[in-house]
């Protein structure tokens, strides 16, 4: 790959996954075109056409399930969710009704049925609105089968490339191969979307929310330099810029399992995991423990609650990867973006503010009882040190009730997630009961800024660099300090090396992130003292805007430039 003689042009978007890479552009195949409004010829058998719809949907579902079976935890969940949508009877039955009543051709009936379903989900907002992308993806796949068109998806090219698209369906994101797709750029999307989160898990530089003008300017085969940290795209980069990118790519940083600042202040650097395979990978990456074990994988796609025995087996696989080390387990975070048929209400008007996470105990406390029993048995069978916490704790009463219940099952260390502003503001009272807390910056930011974190148009509000969010994290740490309770961060903010230094300055004791981010965060923390972290925190808190905070802090960390961050 060589630089072009053409003048370089710098374009920008929202950097959501760090890294600096260069490569040729490969544009996502154009979407399936909208089928024409057409009716069946009189000779066509209506019931056979209806059967074609059902068979096409079943074919799409099976294809997604096969891909899910071969995927890793995060990707598997996304693919299974899309497969569920392909099996949704609302989509197919409505399309079949249109064939019977209007004699629409099957592909047009599926298109209109999907449009109705997507509009309904969009009107619900929150997680349900996010599912519209799944509906559109499934629609395109079914129409492709019906019309014998190429299936939409990631380009298949022999050489590595930078993928450019309007947006990526969850199923497409889940199938990204880091050996071929070295970075991606989308005109839509936000910093905490599932696409962004998965990019970070893959260690793939990514820029989203660029707008159509930027993606339209990138033609097939153009050489681009993608800086996922700064959110910049250099079209036709100079040879010097390409050489710099190659040098940075050749450097391999590893984490030695010793998280601390320059002056020896310990900071536990932990990993976020979703299953046993993820836990083993985190251990291999040197993580000092697990700071967030998402237990939802044991419950997702289950028509009914799994047995205690099944849960014990699943949890043991994770705990065994970290003998003698801390494993922070989040109890079931059902609802909102993780609905469960046996526990949550899919018709809730606003699931993000509804009966989700710990609140599900209000109507079905037995599910938590069974989970705590299983966790206690799994801990007893391994050498890991289990710390258990409940998501979406809002009041001191909830903190007391949960911690007492956890201890009654023999789980000695019980705490809470701080995701609701009230929990941060009342932290001093909640820490009268909780042994520790972990800040979930994704949801906390959404609730503090009153901004749906999935909307690309509000991406500037959906960042933990917002001074209001940082002030609340500081308040939580202040509430914990007199009682000697540790506060960690397990949201996406922990993986931002510059923000990690700010969080340590605010009083955060541990940072939990995707294992791929551990070396970068460790390198930055080892370049600063605790006093310097506290000064960085002061700078961020005094800033008027998120961008001011980020820019001012980064200006004080020259190591970021050295590391290509």
- Pick 498 or 72 by higher pLDDT: 498
Using one digit for the tens of pLDDT, what is the confidence trace for 352-371? Answer: 677 777 888 888 788 899 99
| Cα–Cα dist 342/338, whole Å | 12
| Selected residue with higher pLDDT from 43 and 77 | 43
Chain mean position to CA 279: 17
pLDDT of residue 296: 81
What gap in Å lies between CA 389 and CA 414, rounded to an integer?
6
Q: Known catalytic residue: 265?
A: no
pLDDT tens across 405-444, in order? 999 999 999 999 999 999 999 999 999 999 999 999 989 9
Secondary structure of residue 537 in the 3-state scheme: helix
351 or 329, which is more confident: 329
Q: Which residues of 472-510 are buried (b: 16+ CB within 10 A; e: fewer)?
A: bbbbbbebbeeeebbbbbbbbbbbbbbbbbbbbbbbbbb
Between 85-94, 130-139, 166-175, 339-348, the lowest mean confidence (pLDDT) is in 339-348
Structure letter (DSSP) for residue 264: -
* Structure tokens that stand for 56 in this block: 């096409």
124 band by pLDDT with thresholds 50, 70 and 90: low
- For residue 28, the cross-strand partners are none
Rounded percentage of the chain residues whose pLDDT exceeds 70 = 92
Kindly provide the b/e burial profile for residues 304-341, where b requires at least 16 CB atoms within 10 angstroms of the residue's own CB: ebbebeebbbbbbebbbbbeebbbbbbbbbbbbbbbbe
* Cα–Cα dist 340/531, whole Å: 46
- C-alpha 17/C-alpha 26 separation (Å) is 19
- Tokens 């956890």, located at residue: 406
Q: Of 298, 477, 490, 533, which residue is the catalytic one?
A: 490
Residue 389 φ then ψ, to 5°: -140, 150
Is a pLDDT exceeding 90 seen at residue 345? no
Q: Lowest mean pLDDT: which of 22-31, 388-397, 436-445, 540-549?
A: 22-31
Residue holding tokens 């990978």?
281
pLDDT value at residue 485: 97
C-alpha dist (Å) from residue 272 to 126, 255, 291, 347: 23, 15, 6, 30
| pLDDT for 542 | 98
Element (H, E) at 85: helix 73-86
Q: Residues 426, 429, 430, 434: is their CA dihedral positive or negative? A: positive
The CATH classification number of 268-539 equals 3.20.20.60
Number of Cβ within a 10 Å radius of residue 10: 12
Cβ atoms of 291 and 272 within 8 Å: the answer is: yes
Rounded Cα distance, 288 and 270, in Å: 5
- Sequence ranges of the domains in the chain: 9-29+154-249, 46-147, 268-539
Element (H, E) at 130: helix 126-147
Q: Which of 53-57, 254-258, 306-310, 324-328 has the lowest mean pLDDT?
A: 254-258
Q: Which of 1-10, 207-216, 337-346 is modeled with the greatest confidence? A: 207-216
CATH 1.10.274.10 fits 46-147, yes or no: yes
- Quick check: 53 pLDDT over 80? yes
CA distance 490 to 421: 16
- Measured at the alpha carbon of residue 47, what is the angle toward residues 46 and 52, in degrees to the nearest 5? 95
Query: Across residues 241-248, what is the average pLDDT?
Result: 83
Q: Kindly report the CA angle at 343 between 341 and 349, in degrees rounded to 5?
A: 80
Cα–Cα distance, 353 to 333 (Å, whole number)? 13
DSSP, collapsed to helix, strand or coil, labels residue 260 as strand
Going by DSSP bridges, is the β-strand pair 437-439/223-227 parallel, antiparallel, or unpaired? unpaired
Structure tokens at 290: 């697990």
Partners of residue 327 on adjacent β-strands: 290, 386
**In CATH, what number does 9-29+154-249 get?**
3.50.30.10
pLDDT band at residue 339, thresholds of 50, 70 and 90? Answer: low
With b for 16 or more beta-carbon neighbours within 10 A and e for fewer, the 401-433 pattern comes to bbbebbeebebebbbbbbbbbebbebbbebbeb
Q: Is the pLDDT of residue 227 over 80?
A: yes
Give CA–CA dist 292/270, Å, rounded: 8
The one-character DSSP state at 451 is -
Q: Return the percent helix, strand and coil in the chain, to nearest 5.
A: 50, 15, 35
């Amino acid at each position: 790959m060589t630089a072009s003689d053409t003048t370089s042009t710098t374009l920008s978007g929202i950097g959501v996954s760090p890294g600096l890479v260069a490569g040729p552009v490969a544009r996502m195949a154009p979407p399936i075109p909208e089928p024409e409004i057409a009716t069946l010829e009189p000779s066509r058998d209506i019931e056979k056409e209806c059967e074609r719809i059902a068979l096409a949907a079943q074919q799409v579902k099976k294809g997604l399930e096969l891909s899910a079976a071969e995927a890793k935890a995060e990707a598997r969940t996304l693919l299974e969710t899309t497969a569920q949508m392909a099996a949704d009877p609302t989509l197919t039955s409505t399309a079949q009704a249109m064939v019977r009543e209007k004699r629409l051709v099957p592909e047009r009936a599926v298109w209109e049925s999907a449009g109705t379903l997507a509009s309904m989900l969009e009107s619900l907002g929150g997680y349900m609105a996010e599912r519209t992308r799944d509906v559109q993806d499934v629609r395109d796949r079914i129409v492709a089968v019906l019309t014998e068109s190429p299936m939409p998806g990631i380009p298949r090219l022999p050489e590595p490339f930078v993928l450019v698209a309007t947006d990526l369906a969850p199923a497409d994101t889940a199938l990204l191969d880091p050996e071929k797709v070295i970075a991606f750029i989308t005109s839509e999307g936000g910093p905490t979307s599932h696409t962004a989160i998965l990019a970070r898990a893959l260690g793939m530089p990514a820029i989203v929310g660029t707008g159509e003008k930027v993606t339209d300017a990138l033609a097939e085969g153009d050489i681009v330099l993608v800086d996922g940290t700064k959110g910049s795209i250099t079209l036709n980069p100079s040879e010097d810029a390409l050489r710099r990118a190659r040098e940075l790519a050749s450097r391999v940083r590893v984490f030695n399992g010793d998280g601390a600042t320059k002056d020896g202040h310990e900071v536990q650097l932990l990993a976020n995991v979703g299953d046993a395979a993820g836990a083993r990978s985190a251990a291999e990456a040197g993580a000092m423990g697990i700071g967030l074990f998402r237990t939802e994988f044991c419950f997702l796609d289950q028509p009914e609650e799994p047995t205690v025995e099944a849960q014990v087996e699943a949890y043991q696989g994770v705990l065994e990867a970290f003998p003698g080390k801390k494993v922070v387990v989040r109890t079931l975070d059902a609802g909102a973006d993780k609905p469960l048929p046996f526990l949550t209400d899919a018709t809730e008007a606003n699931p993000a503010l509804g009966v989700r996470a710990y609140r599900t105990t209000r109507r079905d406390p037995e599910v938590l009882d069974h989970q705590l029993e299983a966790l206690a048995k799994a801990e007893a069978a391994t050498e890991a040190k289990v710390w258990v916490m409940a998501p979406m704790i809002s009041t001191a009463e909830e903190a007391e009730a949960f911690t007492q219940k956890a201890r009654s099952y023999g789980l000695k260390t019980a705490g809470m997630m701080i995701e609701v502003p009230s929990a941060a503001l009342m932290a001093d009272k909640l820490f009268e009961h909780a042994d520790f807390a972990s800040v979930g910056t994704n949801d906390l930011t959404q609730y503090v800024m009153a901004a749906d974190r999935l909307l690309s148009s509000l991406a500037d509000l959906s960042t933990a660099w917002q001074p209001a969010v940082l002030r609340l994290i500081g308040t939580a740490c202040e509430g914990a300090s007199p009682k000697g309770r540790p506060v960690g961060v397990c949201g996406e903010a922990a993986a931002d090396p510059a923000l990690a230094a700010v969080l340590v300055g605010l009083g955060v004791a541990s940072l939990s992130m995707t294992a791929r981010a551990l070396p970068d965060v460790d390198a930055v923390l080892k370049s600063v003292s605790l006093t310097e972290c506290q000064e960085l925190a002061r700078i961020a808190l005094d800033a008027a805007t998120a961008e001011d905070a980020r820019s001012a802090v980064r200006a004080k960390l020259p190591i970021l430039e050295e590391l290509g961050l």
